[in-house]
């Protein structure tokens, strides 16, 4: 019974560290990506000049951030945040940054997948920018965004366990503990719990995306 | 700023760089492990992805397999294999190959299957054999996307090879684990600065290679 409650506690910590950064990271990525994608409703044609530069800067900055290993973020961020490496704040901020690095690109692609004609139609029907964004652009970009979200979420769940190497508690603790105590069963339980967590959350995203895009024809 | 000063002092000390446990030898180890893992993963994943992309069916299986591999925690596999096979190179290489297969497979599949069918049909109409279509039309057009997969795999492998030090192997993660053991934060910082710098440099090199190998006709702005 003791083991079960340990696994339960670690699963909770793992859930917290994987879901919170994905939610925060996505909420941060959406405005950044919208800014980078530029104004597409007016003069729907090709993008040139300042718009293209802006998009390039944002997308490349995100790609640059993505190249930094997550373990490095765990270790280096406390220098800026002043927290300890194992503090929950540090872990959440590090993983949120990582999710932003992955999601900005997906969100830019998502906004660009929305047909400019539809946005023009919205404008013609009297939609103001804010209403057009929440009523037309954001809902229509959900499918592409959800695809990026699934990759970010599943990668993040796997990445959280790496923190155990430097003492951050999660399901990954079962791996380091199992190795130290020569307990293969503990490691297998950890792997299974992680995979189940990933599958359940992945399904959740798929279902939510489907519920948000009821107009899509499904095979 | 004490930590950064200490880190700087460690970098400035020539003794940190040379010798068996120095930065240079750890860097060579890191690159060696990463190269081995990427080579094995590429030999498995790229042909499969390219073939499935060429046949334009079975894409769901590729996406499913890649998703499942992505969900597997690499540290879990690493420790499991280490207990199973024993300490040494085989266990971590196996775990990391599984990590690298997902991005390579999806890149190769997505790249080839995204080639405009009209282009492929035009090639077929001109009398090219399937092999010629694959090597002369589909692969050249798919280069940017396939390279995207290779870059992604490289980043993930370089980042994750750091944890090989956890099971008593070398690489740049050695400084992290050793620093952690003696509560020397500055050495951990140094280790991660090195890992991040290596990732940045390698990604830049691969980006350059991608540019050189991609046909100029592909980057045309529409």
- A155–B70: do the CB atoms touch at under 8 Å? yes
Number of A:B CB contacts under 8 A?
Answer: 128
Q: Which of A143, A163, A37, A173 minimizes the C-alpha distance to A90? A: A163
Number of H helices, E strands in chain B: 10, 0
Q: Which domains does chain B have, with CATH numbers?
A: 3-9+23-214 (1.10.3720.10)
In Å, how far is A215's CA from the nearest CA of chain B? 23
Cβ neighbours for A57, distance < 8 A, ≥ 6 positions apart: A36
| CA end-to-end distance (rounded Å), chain A | 45
Q: Can you spell out the DSSP letters for A9-65?
A: HHHHHHHHHHHHHHHHHHHHHHHHHHHHH---STT-S---THHHHHHHHHHHHHHHH
State residue A41's pLDDT score: 46
Q: Does A162 touch chain B (CB under 8 A)?
A: yes
Q: What average pLDDT does chain A have?
A: 88
What is the rounded average pLDDT of the residues A5-16?
92
CA count, 13 A, side-chain hemisphere, B58: 12
Distance CA(A172)–CA(A161), nearest Å, equals 4
Q: Does B206 touch chain A (CB under 8 A)?
A: no
- B73–A191: do the CB atoms touch at under 8 Å? yes
State residue A53's pLDDT score: 84
* Interface mutation target, options B73, B105, B186, B194, chain A, most CBs of A under 10 Å: B73
In Å, how far is B197's CA from the nearest CA of chain A? 8
Share of chain A above pLDDT 70, in %: 93
With CA atoms as reference, the chain A residue closest to B172 would be A72
With CA atoms as reference, the chain A residue closest to B82 would be A179
State residue A207's pLDDT score: 93
User: Among A164, A182, A195, whose Cβ lies nearest the Cβ of B75?
Assistant: A164
In degrees, rounded to 5, the angle at the alpha carbon of residue A75 between the alpha carbons of residues B21 and A58 is 115
Cβ-based contacts of A101 with chain B (< 8 Å): none
Distance CA(A190)–CA(A161), nearest Å, equals 9
ipTM of this complex > 0.90? Answer: no
Answer whether residue B63 shows pLDDT above 50. Answer: yes
Answer whether residue B196 shows pLDDT above 50. Answer: yes
Answer whether residue A39 shows pLDDT above 80. Answer: no
Q: Provide the residue count of chain B.
A: 222
Cβ-based contacts of A67 with chain B (< 8 Å): 155, 196, 199-200, 203
In this prediction, residue A49 has a pLDDT band, given cuts at 50, 70 and 90, of low
Of A43-52, A64-73, A199-208, B55-64, the one with minimum mean pLDDT is: A43-52
Answer whether residue B161 shows pLDDT above 90. Answer: yes
Q: Does B180 touch chain A (CB under 8 A)?
A: yes
A202 or A1, higher pLDDT: A202
Distance CA(A136)–CA(A211), nearest Å, equals 16
Contact B59, B109 (CB under 8 A): yes
User: Would you say the C-alpha torsion A19, A20, A25, A30 has a positive or negative sign?
Assistant: positive
Answer whether residue A44 shows pLDDT above 50. Answer: no
Answer whether residue B222 shows pLDDT above 50. Answer: no
Distance CA(A39)–CA(A132), nearest Å, equals 12
Q: What is the pTM of this model?
A: 0.88
């Amino acid at each position: 019974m003791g083991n079960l409650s340990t696994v339960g506690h670690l699963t909770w910590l793992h859930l917290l560290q994987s879901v919170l950064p994905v939610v925060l990271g996505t909420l941060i990525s959406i405005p950044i990506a919208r800014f980078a994608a530029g104004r597409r409703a007016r003069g729907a044609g090709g993008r040139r000049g300042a718009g293209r530069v802006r998009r390039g800067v944002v997308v490349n900055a995100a790609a640059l951030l993505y190249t930094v290993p997550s373990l490095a973020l765990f270790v280096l961020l406390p220098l800026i945040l002043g927290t300890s490496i194992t503090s929950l704040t540090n872990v959440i901020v590090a993983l949120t940054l990582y999710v932003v690095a992955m999601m900005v690109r997906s969100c830019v692609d998502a906004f660009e997948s929305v047909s400019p004609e539809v946005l023009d139609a919205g404008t013609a029907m009297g939609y103001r920018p804010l209403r057009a964004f929440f009523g037309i652009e954001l809902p229509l970009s959900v499918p592409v965004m959800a695809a990026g979200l699934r990759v970010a979420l599943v990668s993040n769940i796997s990445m959280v366990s790496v923190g155990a190497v430097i003492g951050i508690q999660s399901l990954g603790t079962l791996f380091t503990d199992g190795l130290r105590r020569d307990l293969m069963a503990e490691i297998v339980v950890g792997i299974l719990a992680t995979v189940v967590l990933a599958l359940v959350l992945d399904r959740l995203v798929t279902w939510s995306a489907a519920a948000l895009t009821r107009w899509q024809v499904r095979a | 700023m004490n930590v950064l000063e200490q880190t700087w002092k460690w970098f400035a000390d020539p003794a940190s760089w040379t010798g068996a446990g120095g930065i240079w030898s750890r860097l060579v180890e890191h690159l060696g492990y990463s190269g081995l893992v990427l080579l094995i993963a590429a030999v498995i994943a790229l042909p499969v992805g390219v073939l499935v992309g060429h046949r334009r069916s079975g894409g769901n299986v590729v996406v499913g397999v890649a998703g499942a591999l992505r969900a597997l925690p690499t540290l879990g596999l690493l420790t499991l294999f280490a207990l199973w096979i024993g300490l040494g190179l085989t266990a971590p290489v196996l775990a990391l190959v599984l990590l690298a297969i997902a991005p390579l497979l999806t890149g190769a599949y997505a790249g080839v299957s995204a080639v405009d069918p009209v282009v492929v049909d035009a090639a077929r109409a001109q009398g090219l054999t399937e092999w010629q279509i694959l090597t002369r039309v589909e692969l050249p057009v798919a280069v940017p996307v396939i390279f995207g997969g290779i870059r992604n795999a490289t980043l993930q492998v370089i980042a994750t090879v750091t944890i090989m030090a956890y099971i008593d192997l070398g690489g740049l993660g050695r400084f992290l684990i050793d620093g952690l053991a003696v509560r020397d934060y500055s050495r951990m910082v140094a280790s991660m600065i090195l890992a991040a710098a290596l990732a940045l440099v390698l990604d830049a090199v691969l980006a350059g290679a991608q540019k050189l190998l991609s046909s100029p006709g592909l980057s045309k702005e529409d």
